[in-house]
Structure 1
Amino acid sequence: MLKRTVTVLVLLALFAPFRANCDERYFTYVYESTVLPENQWEVEQWITNQNGKEDGDYSEWNLRTEFEYGITDKLMTAFYLNWDSVHADGVPDEESETEFKGVASEWVYQLSNPHLEPIGSALYVELATDGIEYEIEGKLLLSKEVERFVFAANAVYEAEWEREDNRTEHEGTLELTAGAAYRFADAWSAGVEFRNKSAYPGGFDLSGQEYNVLSVGPNLHYGAPKWWATLTVLPQIWGNGEGSQDNLNLVHEESVEVRLIFGILL
């Protein structure tokens, strides 16, 4: 599915010679501080594949459809629909299912414009639930364009609550992400993305780290006047904590993630 989608996007790109002027994203794991203009709509489709566990055969597809709207030139909101499809054989059990994973609401407020000020910055808040799990995520977004280079970095905290069998389980996640891209043509850019993710079973209590992983990989971006697409391949290069082996943690995280996001300006 992912291979076919990428092929279609590349073929379309060959016949669209102009660079995008919508709120395009140069990265898929790192957010920039740009927002949609007032009264502007955009639809984004996310396709993420997570592959590889310590044992057995594991593949998970995450699909996210996002509807973004610019409330003002500094405030943007979005509504998400999420789906998951998992195939696992011997990891350690067998599992094969596709399910709706709930909805999410995103709010982004731009503090400074990266095109007008020395550095762009924004605050991001996301609320998500599927009726059983509840998540709140906060991010500080930083970005800057220097001639043909684009730089971005995020500090992320996510808290999750799951209610099951009259018990509530808590988990917290800290992430530091960064990316750099170079626009080698009017519509094309290539770059690299970095993610450091650490998990804490106590939620807001960050005293006991469960595991920590580092992932680094390349990306490719194309932007047309009314649509854009970005593809990232993000392999895990180091991991520790519970279940880690050979400097990788393939119990809690996967060996490699591949993410494609494409957006259409309405």
Structure 2
Amino acid sequence: MYKIAAENLQALFRKIAADQDLYLPVKVSDQVNFKAWSQDAEVCLDTLKTVKSPKDAFFPQSENLYTCKKDKKNIRIEPQALQEKDFVVFGMKACDVQGVKVLDNVFLSDPVDTFYAARRDHGTIVALACHEPEESCFCKVFGIDCADPVADVAAWMIEGELYWKPLTEKGEALTKAVAELLTDADEAKVEEEKTAIRAIVEKLPYSNLSLEGWGQEDYMDRFNSPVWEELYKPCLACGTCTFVCPTCQCYDIKDYDTGHGVQRYRCWDSCMY
């Protein structure tokens, strides 16, 4: 277990970004989303929920697959290179980490999505515990412990200090890379923080929702429920709900005429369409 003072976090970000790309919650025009770090970025680690989930670090909203170029009668196909540079997603919450695991079940199953797999191989997740969960949170219902996130590195912000605990080989490698900025820490304060967070969770109104009747065998009953006849009426079919959802994996594949060939790309789609 290690720690670093909050006033030294900028140095930590600078150290990480020197060798790899760094994405974290950044405030732009009063909205906080995961973006690439820069010296002048307004980092907001205390934001509990960003407007969008950080899933597009691993599953981008749009990405090129390959390009076909035409030269007279000859056609050349140029595949898009896979992710080769390491990167860090810093400050993900336990629920967003769980969302990535759902994407893993889809994209890492046969046939493996090589674009996604490359990003997962090169990406390191530093997850930050929720100091004070909101009234609308319901992570406990799905077995998620927001007090003890499971990622490559788990972190806690306590009394002006960031506590840091590597949990995987990638986490150990990142810890070694920034070791000069970290000091040894006692886990006692972290255990106290976990207890305090879990006490808050127990008092939240949605912490003990029942999932009974939502199993796979009940899906069609839910799908055909007459309740939707009322719920659908305010829906604009904009698709935003699935775009911000950390577990949605819908995508479409399209071709774009570049004028001298075709660029094939995929982009997020929505079942709401």
Same fold (TM over 0.5): no
TM-score range, shorter chain: under 0.3
The alignment's TM-score, normalised by the length of structure 2, stands at 0.23
**Which is bigger in relative contact order (C-alpha 8 A, separation at least 6)?**
2
**Structure with max Cα Rg:** 2
The alignment's TM-score, normalised by the length of structure 1, stands at 0.23
More helix by share: 2
More strand by share: 1
